[in-house]
A and B are shown apart, each in its own frame.
Chain A
Amino acid sequence: MYICTPNYVWKTHLMSSKLLLNSTEIHIILHRLACQLIENHNDFSETVLIGLQPRGVYLADRLSQILKDDYNIQGINSGHLDITFYRDDFRRRDAPLEANKTSLNCDIENKNIVFIDDVLYSGRSISAALSAIQSFGRPNIIELLVLIDRRFSRHLPIQPNYIGRQIDVINNERVIVHWKEKDGKDAIHLIPND
């Protein structure tokens, strides 16, 4: 079976892929995360939700939609941030990095930022995002929300404020998050690396 993501084609065997979360479980988790955000950010007037490209944007857009549709919170500031030019592995990878679009149409000066990403692994992407966001101003605080927190795999002292599910995975396994908007259905799989 071939699972397509924007940057990779994952060759994997159906038998060796393990379903971590199905769409119902993801739905419940997203609503819990939305409620946790409301607890800390009230009416969201001073908050900006920022999805990290490429895969964090689906989670950020979904959470914004849930907050608007199910909890009637209007006028949420949100955006997408690409970290490609801030990564510390430029010229150190076999495959060249591909940039994505940054769209941040609101002022972040003194705002409460929530970075949103699908999987937290080494923490290097978040480190790059912390550098990237400084190009737009000086936020008041920056928090981190992730759907999957891979414990025991951090390279940097970075911990999330909001966690969908914490999992323990060995280094040669990959966590793949599928989104309905991109991949046809919501699901999270654990697959072995080739």
Chain B
Amino acid sequence: MSQLSVEHLLGIKYLNKQDIDLIFQTADHFKEVINRPIKKVPSLRDITIANLFFENSTRTKLSFELAEKRLSADIINFSAGQSSVKKGETLIDTVNNILSMKVDIVVMRHPNVGAGVFLSQHVDAKIINAGDGTHEHPTQALLDSYSIREKLGSVTGKKVVIIGDILHSRVALSNIFALKMQGAQVKVCGPTTLIPKHVKSLGIEVEINLKKALAWCDVANVLRVQHERMDIKYFPTTREYKQLFGINKEILDSLDKKIVIMHPGPINRGVEITSDVADADQSIILNQVENGVAVRMAVIYLLAQQIKR
């Protein structure tokens, strides 16, 4: 197979295993490209991409922008804070105005769940979901799986625990879909108040003891506590969270194996993960960032392939 089965990347749940394999094979080639002296290919020189970020973002936006530039696409950037959205314009009106400037692909982050799906039904462009509320963040899950595959050779059969604020995390949900699709065993670990009620219906287990979860896993994907999405108190204090769910060198040294540590960023050093763990040789956090560019290049390239002139 050399073509995606989907017309947009709205979420991992819309993909199949062959799609993920194709994205990873293509990302392998782009990873080689971005390590050349000249890290650019001309494939998308007649494609225009709009990056619409209705929510704050640093690394995802930069990563998408760099991926698009490495593919030679023309780019327009849009942030909700500086736009007519503040004047009451609807999402479809905003996007249609941008599309009338002959935009081929829209990369969108939006605070509302399902914004990408809604947009794909109403506008004539390829949509890439860069995060929709607490729903999905498909490219993050793809780059996480790609990084596990790079580090451990394969995702199939690996034991992965996702630790932290599962309730508010789109990274967690997309990761669960992606890892399960590739045959990994998945557990989530965190305060019970931050674990969604029906999470077991996704075929995963819940472990509330951090030490047991770490002893079980090959890979620990550590998530940030998303204070900005919390309207009530989910745990008493940050100090207590750190004591029960913070990963430090001492707890890792007490394990009889060396597990892989991941974090999608931004890191709250000293809360969910200590500095010495984040910077340890078993941490692949910076590899995730590099792989993010290659994986996003692959996704954009494969979707652009479907646009016929």
Interface residues of A (CB under 8 A from B): 82, 84-86, 90-92, 95-102, 131, 134-137
Contacts and interface: CB of A to CB of B under 8 A. Distances in A.
A101 B26 CA distance: 10
Contacts of A92: 308-309
13 contacts: A85-B301, A86-B41, A90-B43, A90-B305, A91-B304, A96-B305, A97-B2, A100-B29, A101-B28, A135-B36, A135-B37, A135-B38, A136-B36
Given A91-B304, A92-B309, A96-B2, A102 B32 contact: yes
B158 interface: no
Nearest to A87: B43
User: Quick one: which of A97, A99, A100 has the most chain B CB within 10 A?
Assistant: A99
Interface in B164-213: none
Given A99-B26, A135-B37, A86 B307 contact: no
A100 B33 CA distance: 12
| B interface: dominant SS | loop
Place the interface of chain B in its size category.
20 to 34
B2 A135 contact: no
Given A134-B38, A135-B37, 14 more contacts: A85-B43, A86-B41, A86-B43, A90-B305, A91-B304, A91-B309, A96-B3, A97-B305, A98-B2, A99-B25, A101-B28, A101-B29, A135-B33, A136-B36
A90 B307 CA distance: 10
Nearest to A132: B41
Nearest to A128: B42
Contacts of B28: 101
B37 A137 contact: yes
A141 to B, nearest CB: 19
Interface in B127-152: none
A85 B41 contact: yes
A90 B309 CA distance: 10
A156 B36 CA distance: 27
Contact of A102 (B29, B39, B305): B29
B40 interface: yes
A183 B128 CA distance: 41
A158 B309 CA distance: 27
A86 B29 contact: no
A135 B40 contact: yes
A90 B2 CA distance: 13
A155 B244 CA distance: 68
A72 B33 CA distance: 34
Interface string B1-12: 011000000000
Nearest to A94: B308
